[in-house]
Amino acid sequence: MLPYLDGERTPALPEATGSLHGLTRASMTPENIARAAVEGVLCGLADGLDALVEQGVAVRRIVLVGGGAASPAVQQLAGALLGAPVSLPAPNEYVALGAARQAAWALSGAPEPPSWSVDAVDVAAPTSADLEAGARVREAYGRARRRLHGDG
C-alpha cells in the first residue's frame, strides 16, 4: 500500500494519492489489507529515515509513539522496516513537546538544540530474518512507488 492519502512529503509527491498493489482474490483478506496499511506507513517513515541517514544522522534506535505503537506486531514490523531496535516511551504528547523544543532552539539562536532525553523501554530488536523480510517489503513498496510516480 502506498498510503499517500493527502499526498506525500518524502519523496516530494504532493499530488499523489493512495493505492493498493498486488491484490489477488486469494490475498484480499482483511488481515493482509491491514498489514499492507501498516507496512505502507512504516515504509513511508523509512523513506524519511533514509533521507536523514543520507545527511549523516546515525540511527541508534527508533522511539515509536502514537496509538499503533502499543501493538507488538507494529513494533516488530517497525524494527524490520526501519532497521533499528524499537523503544517505547511512557505515554506523552511527544509531537507537541518536539515542536516546543524546536521553537526553543530557534528562539535561543544556539548552534545546537537543547538537550532532551526520553526514557524509553526497548521492546523489539530486529533479527537478521526480520531485516531480510523488511528489505523485501521495502523493495516491493519502492517498485510500486516507482511504477506510479517514477523516482519521486
Q: What is the pLDDT of residues 70-118, one digit of tens each?
A: 999 999 999 999 999 999 999 889 889 989 999 999 999 999 988 888 8
**Total count of residues recorded for the chain:** 152
* Number of compact structural domains in the chain: 1
Q: What's the pLDDT score for residue 152?
A: 59
- The region of weakest confidence among 48-52, 102-106, 147-151 is 147-151
Q: Which is nearest to 79 in space by CA: 135, 32, 141, 34?
A: 135
Q: Which is nearest to 43 in space by CA: 139, 130, 127, 148?
A: 139
Q: Is residue 92 part of a domain?
A: yes
Q: Is residue 120 part of a domain?
A: yes
| Residue 86: its H or E element | strand 86-89
Q: Is residue 3 part of a domain?
A: no
| Cα angle 128-126-133, degrees, rounded to a multiple of 5 | 55
CATH number at 140 reads 3.30.420.40
- Domain span at residue 71? 30-149
